[in-house]
Every structure is written in structure tokens, then in C-alpha cells.
Structure 1
Amino acid sequence: MMQTEISSCPACQQQLQQGIQPWHRKCRHCSYEGSTLLVDIDVQGDREVLDEALREEGLGDLRQRNFRVLAAEVAARFPDSGGTRPRLLDVGCAHGWFLEATAGHFDVLGIEPDARVAQSAGERGLPVRRGFFPDVLQADERFDVIIFNDVMEHIPDIVSAMQACAHHLSTGGIVVVNAPARTGLLYRVSQAMAALGLPASFDRMWQKGFPSPHVHYLDDASMHLIGARAGLKLVSVRTLPSLSVKGLYARIRYDRTVSAAKAMAVTFILGVAAPALRVLPADIKVWTLRAT
């Protein structure tokens, strides 16, 4: 178990202050937001806090559709030369969906600390190392792409993680961070509700009580500053859909504390709102960085 120690801003290095909740932190000098929530990943495989079957069902449609789009864009940066294939590292690869989406173009490798999830991906024949980034890598291993799909926001020491990326990048390589954005509509609505004394949606946005909660909420400015501290330059930003009606009920219900009635109500509300959410500020952003 690891309580996130966070006193100074990883973006601008100024002192952080308490935000809406006792565990919430905000930087008054830049736009960064963080938390002190407990990180307690199941590295031994002896417990299951979340319903992993429902989690896979709930996230499968959205993530696999997003991954196909992202995989094509990443591959386009490395045209097939007919020689050695570029290497891609998927940090926190979970069920291995992005490895599958990119295996036709890249020499892929995944890292996953959750014992059950890593075993599941490995049993499907995917090249996955169980453990934490960058601990399971050799010092001289290099990659053309290092990608974090819904992972960077869970890593307590984000600056060290980015510095490790810079070390393990091949010349001309890129780091891709696909993560929730603090500028998204759903996040801003949850903030407003928490400020009014209704914290449930804000807690869920941070995944409070989950084995691996969010410890960062980023935006373009904070990602630029954090990358710069590691010698990485932000070169592009794009958005991805954050909601799929298919699997939405399962996505809400994989948190075992949510009742079926509440999950059905939230599913209905978000389902009705889905068309509008597609044109409003997106809750998922993809930041691409390159070594300077």
C-alpha cells in the first residue's frame, strides 16, 4: 500500500493547497490538480476489490474503439520501411487490447502490475511483464513508442515516470499519454456538485476507494510543464470519446459499492446525455511528447 505524498506541484513545483475534499490538492500557480488517495494495487493476486469481469465488459467497447483510432495514428508516425519493426511499450497494458491493436505494425511489449489482469493477458499469448514501470525493464532497453493508456494519472511520482520514459526512448521516439483531462465537462460538473456538498460523482471521477485511484488530473499546460521537466516536448494534443452507451451499466457496476438501482439511474441519465457530450469539452485527452 502506498499513501501518495504530494506537497509540491509536479508541474510548476509550487506548494499545493487543499482543494474541495481533504484528499484533493490544487496548485494556485498553475492548473494542476492531484490527490493523496491510497494506491493499493493487487500485486499478489489474492483479492478482488472490483468486479473485473464487469470492468472488462464495461470498458471493452469504448477502449477498443479508441485504441483502434490511436493505434492507426501512432503507426502513421513510423512508416513501414521493410526492415526491423519499431518497438512499442504499453505501460499498464491491462487486458492487452492496445497490444493487440498495434501488434501488426510494432514489436510490442506490455507491463502490468495487477497480478490477475497480467495473468489474463499472458494466457492469451500477449508479451506482458508483470510488475511496475520502469523496474521490470533492463537499463539498456529502448522503445520507439512508450504509451500510457489511462495509466499516467495513477502513478504517484509522475515526474520520475516521465524521466524514465526519456531514458528508455529511442532516438526520434515518442511518449503518448492517454488520460482523463481536468478540462472535461463531466469532471467540471462533478467539481461543481462536490462544491455544493454532493461529492459522490467527484469521488468516482477520482476513483476514490479503488485499488488504483487517480492521483493526478492533467491538462495541456500541466502536461507541457511536467514533460519539460523530463526533457520532453509536447508536440500534439487530441481528444477521444469518454463515453460509450454499450457497456455503460457494467462500467458503473464494476464498483461493488454501487447498487443496481443507482447504476440503472446513472446509465439512463448518461445515455440520454451522450449525444450532447460528444460535442462538449472532452474528458479524455491524448498528449504526445518527444525528446528535446
Structure 2
Amino acid sequence: MGFITDRKGVDIDEDAREQALRPLRENNFDTLLDWTLQHLGQRDAKAGKPRLLEVGCAHGWFIEKAARSFDVIGIEPDAAVATRTLARGLPVRRGYFPGTLADGEMFDVIVFNDVLEHIPSVGEALRHCVRHLNPAGVVVVNAPDRRGALYRLSTWLVRLGMSGPFDRLWQKGLPSPHLYYFDSRSLASVARSAGLEVVASRRLPSLTARGLYSRIRCAGDVPVAKALLLAAGVLPLVPLLHALPSDITAWVLAPGQPGN
């Protein structure tokens, strides 16, 4: 199984991308880790830290935080990004899920942070999760939600002939475009076919003022003047967007009965 990582399309400035996304994601990761611990089944304290696998760990921000409470491993298919993350001394395997795992290698938590929407076969990915998940373990999916305010606005703008925001949300033309936007019903359906059930969900913030300009510029195809204008236009809307349905949702999946 693989991701869309052929590096075609617009080049990504990884330094700008890191500056842009880190404030938002680190805040969300703190929330996600606390929430994940609440949904883990009871474990024997003598067993040590629960094992956590992050699929598509990118720069390693999540596993770095998770290491406080978990025995962590990350998988990253992008060779350039994996090299940067390994250079920071983090436990990352280069390659694809589940190919980098040994037979019988088991985890208490398997996490997809902004990754599942890039995988062509979501059902296959979740079935592999079940094979590598301990009985009381959980799968945590943090992904774009098509019920969000920005997604709904972008679809409305398409009807007016303005497809730019919609294309950007789908990351059209970038090396790893979005293949899916989820909602609870669609994710529950594909999870159930893999033997998992959605047991909890929560919205997470999708936009912050900090890093906004860098987020617009990181794709490398937006001129400086245009990026400044876009940032100035969006900045006053950030508080309003926080009051509207977020474009990011996290779901907890637990083993259930396949096909039910």
C-alpha cells in the first residue's frame, strides 16, 4: 500500500510549510493525545508504556509529543522528509504502511494525522490496522471534514465560477493531493467493513492567525503580493471561523465486527 508521493506538481517549500503548520498542529496534537489516552482500554501498568504507531509521521511533531506517554514509532514514505526527521533522532522508518512492519508487530494506538485522505484504499489501510492492533487498542483518524465551513464555502464559490479555493482544499496540483473528504457517516461505513467501529469524534481547529502567510506561500506558486492580500483578507475571519463548524475532525475507531 502506498501514498500519492510521486513529487509531481508544484514544489513544496518544506521550511515554509513547517513554519506555517506547526503552531496549529502542535496545539491540535496536545488535544488529540489527551483524548486518545481517555479512550484507551485498561492496561496492566507493569506492561510499560502503550505502543503507538503514527502512519505518515512527516516531521515527527506528533510522535515527539506522544513519546511522553507512549512507546512511539513513525512511518514516513517521503524520503526527503523522513531524512529530516531521522536527523532529529526520532524513531522513524522510511517506507509505506504496513510494509515496514514485521509480522505480528502490534500496537495499542495507530494514528493517521492528515494522512488517511491521501491513501487510495482507505478500507485496505484500516484492515491492516486491525491486523496490527492489540485487542483493547484504538485507531485515531485526524482528517479533513466536508461538513466544515471552509469546505462548504468553497463549494459555493465553485458555483459562482471561482474554483481556486476548492482546488486548494483538495491540494490539486500538489505532490500529495487529497483523495477524500470524510464525514462521520462515510468514515463509519468504511471502518465497519474493515472490522472497526467509530466510538468517538470531535472537531479540531483548522486555521490559526499564526503562520497564515507562510501557509499560503509554502506551495511556491503564490506571488508575495497575492499571498499578503489573501492573508490580510482571511485574518479578520479567523475568529468567526472558530465559531463555525471546523474543517478538521478526529475520530476514534475500535475493533468491532467485520461487515456489520
- Using the size of structure 2 for normalisation, the TM-score is 0.93
Q: What aligned pairs does 1:121-140 form with structure 2 within 5 A after superposition?
A: 121-140=85-104
Work out whether 1:145 is the aligned partner of 2:109. Answer: yes
The 2-side partners of 1:219 and 1:139 are apart by 32
CA displacement at 1:82 relative to structure 2: 4.5
Letter in 1 for 2:38: A
Among candidates 129, 135, 160, match of residue 165 of structure 1? 129
Please say which of residues 47-56 and 194-203 is displaced more in the overlay: 47-56
- Give the aligned partner of residue 187 of structure 2: 223
Please say which of residues 54-63 and 73-82 is displaced more in the overlay: 73-82
The 1-side partners of 2:239 and 2:10 are apart by 34
Tell me which of the two structures has the higher relative contact order, counting C-alpha pairs closer than 8 angstroms and 6 or more residues apart: 2
The 2-side partners of 1:204 and 1:48 are apart by 12
Among candidates 33, 43, 52, match of residue 71 of structure 1? 33
Question: Number of aligned pairs?
Answer: 253
More helix by share: 2
The 1-side partners of 2:36 and 2:245 are apart by 23
- Give the aligned partner of residue 19 of structure 2: 57
The 1-side partners of 2:7 and 2:224 are apart by 25
In structure 1, the gaps of 5 or more residues are 5-38
- Give the aligned partner of residue 106 of structure 1: 70
Q: Contact (CA 8 Å) 1:238, 1:286: kept in 2 or not?
A: yes
SS of alignment partner, residue 173 of structure 2? coil
CA displacement at 1:263 relative to structure 2: 1.1
- Give the aligned partner of residue 23 of structure 1: none
SS of alignment partner, residue 216 of structure 1? coil
1:162-206 Cα shifts (integer Å, max 9, x gaps): 111111111111001000100000011111111221100000000
In structure 2, the gaps of 5 or more residues are none
Q: Contact (CA 8 Å) 2:10, 2:173: kept in 1 or not?
A: no
Among candidates 80, 92, 95, match of residue 56 of structure 2? 92
The 2-side partners of 1:50 and 1:58 are apart by 12
RMSD (CA atoms) = 1.8
- Give the aligned partner of residue 156 of structure 2: 192
CA displacement at 1:48 relative to structure 2: 8.3
The 2-side partners of 1:265 and 1:287 are apart by 35
CA displacement at 1:286 relative to structure 2: 0.3
CA displacement at 1:40 relative to structure 2: 3.5
Q: Contact (CA 8 Å) 2:5, 2:78: kept in 1 or not?
A: no
The 2-side partners of 1:254 and 1:217 are apart by 22
SS of alignment partner, residue 141 of structure 2? strand
- Give the aligned partner of residue 206 of structure 2: 242
CA displacement at 1:72 relative to structure 2: 1.6
Change beyond 3 A, Cα 1:179–1:68: same
CA displacement at 1:142 relative to structure 2: 0.8
Letter in 2 for 1:69: T
Aligned identity (percent) is 47
The 2-side partners of 1:209 and 1:48 are apart by 6
